Amino acid sequence: MRRSALVLRKDLRVLVRSPLLLGVLIAYPLLVAGLVGLVAGYGSSKPRVALVDEDHLPQLVAVGGHRFRIQDAIDEVGKNVHLVRMDPVEARHALATGRVVATLTVPPGFLADLKSGLHSPSLVYQVTRGGISSRVTQQVQALVYGLNRQLQTAYVRTDLRYVQLIVTGGRAEFGGRTYDVLGLARMQKLLQQLPPGPQRERIAEFARIAGVALAQTGSLLGATANPIGLERAHEHSRSSLLSAQVQSYALALTITFLALLLAAGAIASERDENAIGRLRRGLISMGELVSAKVALAAVVALALGLAIALVFGVIVEAGGVAGGEPWQRLPLLAVGLVVAGAALGALGTLLGALARETRTASLVAVLVVMPVVFLGLVPREVVPVAGWLSDGLPFAHAVRYFSASLYDASPWGALVRELVWLVGLGLAFGVLARLATRRLLA
């Protein structure tokens, strides 16, 4: 242990004496984390969906006396989905070749059914399998929901006009014919002209109650159409840039990059500098040497991870972001940084021992970092294989640990589970790294 500490101290001293390397090692993963965040957040935010108008909808559609601008509805959904008008053949081809992820077809007779109010017309939706199909489906469902909301308002107004006709009476058109409707109010006036008697009073009482009841119809119809409303409250909320997920990814990506590169380079440099032979002469066991490199990764991960958390925290506090930075959770985060750093360091040491030369080790580590990170970013429900592979690598566990340690209301279950994973992976990679050190002596 003391010997490992001596080698660790040496490695830290060497690292401090390479400020450019240290700067690049810190700046590069943060830059990558930012770019990944941008790509994940915005790059695919507008999937292309083909709009096939087989009913030749006019620019302005009148339904139930309410006028809609079709383009306004398209613009509304276009905030989330890029709707592209196509003819049916072109749309089929685009869907087959993947140029669009879905097609939304307005079938012939759609508008006529809509205007009649007798049948509910349907839009026809086709989507590719896998990928972002579930997200596109949600966007299209949101489009239909939005259109239905507008139509419901129009229908309710139309219905209310008929109700109003029953209450007050007047002339109305229905089914192409004109009617003169008496109405409850005029009926009561006519009743006053009839001779008094119990029958007249009963009819008058009915007309009065019916009038009161029908007066409530407007709000009742509104409530029936939209039992639950959704209002967006404008408050000082956390931006996506400062979200728990982004913080967790930034932390995990940075320490993954650092730990893999440092550990791989550090173990390989023992051979490059020919020190491995001197050390092997009983000065330090190969197990202790591996421990020193693992400890190097853990120490640097802790220092850098806490620094990043501190910077995030200061930004969050300075911005007065809702929820604030959970400072009291930093000890939990520190534990995760050490354990994740050690697990990644063990993997890096394994890579370095296999590569044997510092330059090769660094290159291999850089090449390995990206797949390790991106496997952890692919949603398990989209590509299950990526999830399984990611389980065998420390990155995804580190992300989940950091997220839980900083923001979960009840983090203990997740923390223990991810810690067990990280410790297990660290031990497994450590044992493999110890075996691989034989290559350094060859």
Residues that bind another protein in the complex, under the rule CB under 8 A: 3, 6, 10, 13-14, 17-18, 273-275, 277-284, 438, 441-442
Min CB(328)–another protein separation in Å: 39
Q: Which residue lies nearer to another protein by CB, 246 or 440? A: 440
Min CB(8)–another protein separation in Å: 11
Min CB(281)–another protein separation in Å: 4
CA-CA distance, 28 to 208, in Å (whole number)?
A: 78
Q: Which residue lies nearer to another protein by CB, 13 or 56? A: 13
- Beta partners for 50? 84, 103
Cα 126 to Cα 48, 88, 121, distances in angstroms: 13, 12, 16
CA-CA distance, 329 to 313, in Å (whole number)?
A: 12
CA-CA distance, 373 to 378, in Å (whole number)?
A: 9
Q: Which residue lies nearer to another protein by CB, 91 or 276? A: 276
129-135-136 Cα angle (round to 5): 75
350-360 burial, b for 16+ CB within 10 Å, e for fewer?
bbbbbbbebee
Min CB(15)–another protein separation in Å: 9
**Beta strands, E only, 94-224:** 102-106, 124-127, 170-174, 177-181
Q: Which amino acid is located at 201 in the chain? A: E
User: Contact 8/299 with Cβ under 8 angstroms?
Assistant: yes
Q: Which residue lies nearer to another protein by CB, 201 or 273? A: 273
Min CB(277)–another protein separation in Å: 3
Residue 94 token pair: 């685009």
CA-CA distance, 54 to 37, in Å (whole number)?
A: 39
Min CB(5)–another protein separation in Å: 10
Q: Which residue lies nearer to another protein by CB, 247 or 349? A: 349
Min CB(28)–another protein separation in Å: 21
CA-CA distance, 193 to 425, in Å (whole number)?
A: 94
Min CB(296)–another protein separation in Å: 14
User: Contact 418/404 with Cβ under 8 angstroms?
Assistant: yes
Q: Which residue lies nearer to another protein by CB, 14 or 366? A: 14
Q: Which residue lies nearer to another protein by CB, 11 or 325? A: 11
Residue 99 has phi, psi (to 5 degrees) of: -70, -30
Q: Which residue lies nearer to another protein by CB, 18 or 71? A: 18
Min CB(18)–another protein separation in Å: 7
Residue 101 has phi, psi (to 5 degrees) of: -95, -15
Q: Which residue lies nearer to another protein by CB, 17 or 234? A: 17
Q: Which residue has the tokens 């990814």?
A: 249
Output the furthest CA–CA distance in the chain (Å, rounded).
125
Residue 152 φ/ψ region, left for φ over 0, alpha for ψ in the -120 to 50 degree band, beta for the rest = alpha
Q: Which residue lies nearer to another protein by CB, 11 or 418? A: 11
Min CB(29)–another protein separation in Å: 23
Min CB(307)–another protein separation in Å: 23
User: Contact 143/81 with Cβ under 8 angstroms?
Assistant: yes
CA-CA distance, 209 to 203, in Å (whole number)?
A: 10
Burial of 247 (0-12, 13-18, 19+ CB in 10 A): buried
